[in-house]
Chain A
Amino acid sequence: MATSTTNLDSPPVRKTDRDPRRVGLRQKLGRWDVKLSPYLYISPFFILFAVVGLFPLAYTAYVSMHQWHLIGGEGKFVGLDNFTFVLQQANFWRALRNTFSIFLLSSVPQIIIAILLAAVLDANLRARSFWRMGVLLPYVVAPVAVSLIFSKLFGDQSGMINALLNKIGLDSIRWHADVLSSHLAIATMVNFRWIGYNTLIFLAAMQAVPRDLYEAAILDGAARLRQFTSITVPMLRPTIIFVVVTSTIGGLQIFDEPRMYDQFGQGGSDRQWLTVTMYLYELGWGSQKSFGRAAAVAWILFLIIVAVGIINFSITRRISTDSAPKSGRKAKR
Chain B
Amino acid sequence: MRKTTRKMWAAAAGVTGIALLATACSSGGSTTPAASAKSTTAASTEKITLKVATFNEFGYDDPAGSLYDAYTKLHPNVTIEPVKAATSNEARDNMNTKLAAGSGLADIEAIEVDWLPELLQYPDKFVDLTSDDTKGRWLKWKTDQATSPDGKLIGYGTDVGPEGIAYRADLFKAAGLPTDRAEVAKLFGGKDATWDKYFEVGKQFTAKGTGVPFFDSAGATYQGMINQVKAAYEDPSSHKIIATDNADVKKIYGQVLKAAVDDKLSANLGQWSPDWTASFQKNGFATMLAPGWMLGVIEGNAKGVTGWDIADVFPGGGGNWGGSFLTVPVQGAHPEEAKALAAWLTAPEQQIKAFTYKGTFPSQVAALKSPDLLGVTKPFFNNAPTGQLLANRANAVTVAPYKGPNYFAVNDAMQQALARVDVDKTDTADASWAKFTDAVKALG
Contact with B along A286-307 (1 / 0, CB 8 A): 1111000000000000000000
Report yes or no: B279 in contact with A71, Cβ–Cβ below 8 A: no
Binds B, one of A118-126, A186-194, A225-233, A260-268: A260-268
A183 to B311, CA, bound (A): 43
- Selected contact of A177 from candidates B90, B426, B442, CB within 8 Å: B426
Chain B residues with CB under 8 A of A62: none
Instruction: Please tell me if B416 contacts chain A, counting CB pairs below 8 Å.
Output: yes
Instruction: Please tell me if A13 contacts chain B, counting CB pairs below 8 Å.
Output: no
Instruction: Please tell me if B56 contacts chain A, counting CB pairs below 8 Å.
Output: no
Instruction: Please tell me if B35 contacts chain A, counting CB pairs below 8 Å.
Output: no
Which bracket fits the contact residues of B?
A: 35 or more
Chain B residues 262-278 with CB under 8 Å of chain A are 269-270, 272-275, 278
Report yes or no: A262 in contact with B273, Cβ–Cβ below 8 A: yes
Chain B residues 222-258 with CB under 8 Å of chain A are none
Which bracket fits the contact residues of A?
A: 35 or more
Chain A residues with CB under 8 A of B363: none
Q: Which residue of B lies closest to A156 (CB)?
A: B275
A244 to B1, CA, bound (A): 12
Q: Could you tell me the dominant secondary structure of chain B's interface residues?
A: helix
Instruction: Please tell me if A270 contacts chain B, counting CB pairs below 8 Å.
Output: yes
Chain A residues 208-264 with CB under 8 Å of chain B are 238-239, 241-242, 262-264
Chain A residues with CB under 8 A of B13: 44-45, 48-49
Chain A residues with CB under 8 A of B125: 71
Chain A residues with CB under 8 A of B17: 48
Binds A, one of B59-67, B94-102, B182-190, B195-203: B94-102
Q: Which residue of A lies closest to B94 (CB)?
A: A285
Output the residue of B87, B121, B412, B416 with the most chain A CB within 10 A: B416
Q: Which residue of B lies closest to A152 (CB)?
A: B274
Instruction: Please tell me if A158 contacts chain B, counting CB pairs below 8 Å.
Output: yes
Report yes or no: B9 in contact with A90, Cβ–Cβ below 8 A: no
Report yes or no: A71 in contact with B122, Cβ–Cβ below 8 A: yes
Report yes or no: B409 in contact with A89, Cβ–Cβ below 8 A: no
Closest chain A CB from B1 CB (angstroms): 5
Closest chain A CB from B11 CB (angstroms): 11
- Selected contact of A285 from candidates B96, B417, B435, CB within 8 Å: B96
Instruction: Please tell me if B340 contacts chain A, counting CB pairs below 8 Å.
Output: no
Closest chain B CB from A197 CB (angstroms): 14
Q: Which residue of B lies closest to A52 (CB)?
A: B16
A270 to B418, CA, bound (A): 10
- Selected contact of B96 from candidates A49, A53, A156, A289, CB within 8 Å: A289
Given contacts A51-B20, A157-B279, contact A285 B93 (CB under 8 A): yes
Report yes or no: A285 in contact with B97, Cβ–Cβ below 8 A: yes
10 extra A-B contacts, CB within 8 A, seeds A52-B19, A286-B409, A288-B442: A45-B10, A48-B17, A70-B96, A71-B96, A238-B4, A264-B272, A269-B270, A270-B416, A287-B443, A288-B443
A-B contact pairs, 13 of them (CB 8 A): A45-B9, A48-B16, A52-B19, A53-B16, A71-B99, A242-B1, A268-B424, A269-B416, A269-B426, A272-B424, A272-B426, A285-B97, A287-B406
